[in-house]
Amino acid sequence: MTGYIHSIESFGTVDGPGVRMVIFLQGCPMRCQYCHNPDTWKMAGGTPMTVEELLKQYESSRIFTGAEASRPPAESLLCSWIL
């Protein structure tokens, strides 16, 4: 399955405690008033990537950071293709 990725941050330190790989998905219908990433709202665009490609990139980053995959619960329904 393929999803559209806005960007990937391999050394994220802003979105919570510790260091992590952050995957920003392209397309969000929620339009939160104080969204930090409104440039991800458009449903069109982004880089098509498969789950396998994301996992491969995650595995190469994990060796460096020791991170484990996680996601905010509210986003589960929006990105079910990757779960």
pTM, 2 dp:
0.67
pLDDT of residue 77: 55
Beta strands in 32-77 (DSSP E): 47-50
pLDDT of residue 73: 52
Q: Which residues, in sequence order, are CB contacts of 76 under 8 Å at separation 6+?
A: 83
Q: Minimal CA–CA distance to 12: which of 31, 36, 43?
A: 36
pLDDT tens, residue by residue, 10-49: 887 776 777 778 888 999 889 999 998 999 999 999 999 9
Residue 71 near residue 79, CB atoms below 8 Å: yes
